[in-house]
Structure 1
Amino acid sequence: MISKSSNSLPVRDGADRDRRTPTWPSDTGRTMPASLVYDQIPIGTRLRFRDDIPEPPPDRQGDHAVWRLYNGTGRLARKDPPPHCSPIGQPASITIRTAEFGEHSAVGFTLALGNTSTGVVRFEVLELPPVGSVRILARDGDNAELLHLAEDEHAAIAWLARHPIPSAIFDPVSADEIAAASVEGRWVR
């Protein structure tokens, strides 16, 4: 049985959005650094990311392509902790996927949290994963990467039938997880 979340996040008005899907309005300016995305935001959350550098003119294609790397929207697909027993110090990282897995343009990028250039990229939560949805994850040791966020278990089974991935597992989104993310996110201004 799936219970509805009783979190305090507003829900977008209008269209056919499921009322169980909490969102932050995109025009509030509530931004956070990558380190807080790593600590508090659940995998499957839609995020806007930006570095506050003005968009170059479209005729400067190379500059525009670089600008799009640090300005856009995507889903939080992975959180990697720093390695435990590595002689080389490596920071924790997050991976953002800017298109759905299985599409021809499923591009993603990884930000290392200790990198100084990562500090200029700010994130804004657009939409937490809906309660009752199912994350389809690919396992890589202790870490998991989001392949797809399905509406429910039936949709997850259908997606996995179209994209057979041997290491895939299902991870249902719980009301407790979303409530915790909304409570922890109240500090965001």
Structure 2
Amino acid sequence: MRIFYRVLGVLLIAAAVVMFFWQDIRALVTNQVNDKIIQAYEKNEAAPEVNDLEKWISKTEPDKLKLTEDMLGYLKIPAADINEPLLKGPATQVNLKNGVTLVEEGEQLSEQNIAIAGHRVEGAGIRFNYLDRVKKGDIVTILTRKGEKNYEIYNIYDVNPSQVDVLKESKGKPQELTLITCDSYNPDTLLFEKRMIVKARIIETA
């Protein structure tokens, strides 16, 4: 009986440690899954090799992606520790679980205003959770098999969810990104009442 209680005590301590560090563990595993998805994309593979434990911890569904068809590249924001797979639109729940995504179906990276959505509810350090760390002047990079493009953040603000004019194209103006995520969480309604908008303009190369 004494051995039983000792084993039980060890298990309870281990469970407490895992619970205490759960968000850190989940962020670490999600980053590992991201890296596997990005590496598979760079090798032009159809799917990443992600095991069931990694899927369970990260709450991702990479087996539902066809990288050669669904993935456009990846998005990096060093100032916010963001390195995420960038998927084709529309912004479905599957896409939002596996990375960040173009908002609209059929949207292209060649458009003047590229709208990209990402969750903040996935946990600390996952998807766009740290997007609120960015400031004007920070750099956003989109990397594809064709190369990379850099954008400089020039505006950060909140809008109501119904304000979709942020998605509008402005013909003749420099290309820009519109990064979108939830903001202003209300614990009474359990809803995010605002959308955070980060605008970044392309840096023209000489």
TM-score bucket (shorter structure) = under 0.3
Which of structures 1 and 2 has the larger relative contact order (alpha carbons within 8 angstroms, sep 6+)? Answer: 1
Determine which structure has the larger helix proportion and give its number.
Answer: 2
Which is higher, the Rg of structure 1 or of structure 2? Answer: 2
Could you tell me the TM-score, scaled by structure 2's length?
0.24
